Amino acid sequence: MLVRIIGGSGGVCPGHFATSYLIDGTLLIDAGSCANGIQIDEQAKIDNILISHPHLDHIKDLAFICDNCFGMKGKPFEVHTNKTISDSISKYLLNDVIWPDFTKLPTQQNPTIRFNEIEVEKKIKLGDYTITAIPVNHPCDAIGFIIERGNSAIVFTQDTAPTEKIWKFAKQTENVKAIFTEVSFPNSLKQVAVDSQHHTPDSMKEEILKMPPSVPIFLGHLKPNFHSKLYEEIALIGSDRVTILGTNDQTFVF
């Protein structure tokens, strides 16, 4: 699988793009920067979109790709997520107030975007991919994903506090080649991280012990205003498995 990190940041400012990972050009995880991070013809090639939770930095570009690609695809963007999350997006974003309801445009029968409900902890097939959504510890029934294709699997959980279940599922999955997860706040903001259900470098050091051994770990969602402190503190984790996701467009092959 070719994983392109369109945006791996925990904030939005010049040079920092919010969470959007594009797999093989067609499967998107989260819509934080897929409208301003890639060209419109690349946006139109996205078939399926997995959404981890409805916080703005993970969904905002659903609004803009619908606008950018209107009438270009001949089929809808198929969004796969749980009902709590899709209901929140419908109620608060695509609600004909904040933004047009593109699930009914140009027509309800032929929409620009369509929600597909996924049941957690059950494998679903999307083309060549097998996807399992697993609950994580973050507001609004947030989920992470295990994505399998051929002889590779990757584990994606962005926003989450310390969690258990996804690591159990990951350990039962063969051929896990990479884990993508998050560190948002420096250790001095531990209570903020606890209250907002995110990680600090210290909590990530403990979390790594629950993960499948020897698999490379990619840390994203760093808050841009704490970047230099976070780089220092993540280095102190002392694991050669850890790579920090930079802010530029990066591609990995697994």
Size of the site for Zn ion (CB under 5 A): 3
Does residue number 198 form part of the binding site for Zn ion (CB under 5 A)? no
Does residue number 16 form part of the binding site for Zn ion (CB under 5 A)? no
Out of 159, 178, 200, 247, the only residue in the binding site for Zn ion (CB under 5 A) is 159
Find the shortest distance in angstroms from Cβ 92 to Zn ion. 14
How far is residue 164 from each of residues 42, 184, 185, 191, 234, measured CA to CA in Å? 35, 19, 20, 20, 21
Question: Could you tell me which stretch among 74-82, 156-164, 203-211, 241-249 binds Zn ion (CB under 5 A)?
Answer: 156-164
Binding positions for Zn ion, 76-95, rule CB under 5 A:
none
Alpha carbon 15 to its chain's center: 19
Q: Which ranges constitute the DSSP H helices of the chain?
A: 40-44, 56-68, 83-92, 165-171, 190-196, 201-208, 227-235
Find the shortest distance in angstroms from Cβ 32 to Zn ion. 7
18 and 58 Cβ atoms separated by less than 8 Å: yes
Q: Please compute, for residue 51, the number of CA atoms within 13 A of its CA located in the half-sphere on the CB side.
A: 34
Binding positions for Zn ion, 38-67, rule CB under 5 A:
55, 57
Binding site for Zn ion (CB under 5 A): 55, 57, 159
